[in-house]
Amino acid sequence: MDSKNNLYITDTKGAAYKVVDGETFSLNELANYSLHKNFFIKSDRLFFNDNNGGFWQFYVNTKEVELVARRGEIAVRLDDVDIKNKRLLYLNKALGKKEIVLFH
């Protein structure tokens, strides 16, 4: 919910909606994004992941969408978000080799 007690929801296809006084409105500004369950609201900004590794913020008052960060090549997924300190924690792939060593 935002500061005006408007509820934001998504459907099974990832489309975003705003619920005001029991009436549901489509967020057309986010029609090109698939939110699913990966979003949260902080200070009238809706933050979400897209399916292409982008982390975005949507300003609910001005309806602007802004890219915050893009997932790196070795990152598997976004694990944690610290909006206050502007930090994102990604789970990365660990690349390595297994070697067998025979000691005599």
In a domain, residue 83? The reply is no
Domain that holds residue 33: 7-71
Report the domain count for the chain: 1
pTM: 0.77
Of the candidates 63, 29, 69, the one whose C-alpha atom is nearest the C-alpha of residue 49 is: 69
In a domain, residue 91? The reply is no
pLDDT of the residue at 84:
81
- Distances 4 to 1, 7, 41, 46, 86 between C-alpha atoms, Å: 8, 9, 12, 13, 24
Per-residue pLDDT of the chain (104 residues; tens, 9 = 90+): 888 888 899 888 888 899 988 899 999 999 888 886 678 888 889 999 887 788 889 999 999 999 988 888 878 788 788 888 888 888 887 776 667 776 76
Place of tokens 């206050």: 84
pLDDT of the residue at 104:
60
In a domain, residue 32? The reply is yes
In a domain, residue 98? The reply is no
In a domain, residue 67? The reply is yes
Collapse the DSSP code of 40 into the 3-class scheme (helix H, G, I; strand E, B; otherwise coil) and give the result.
Answer: strand
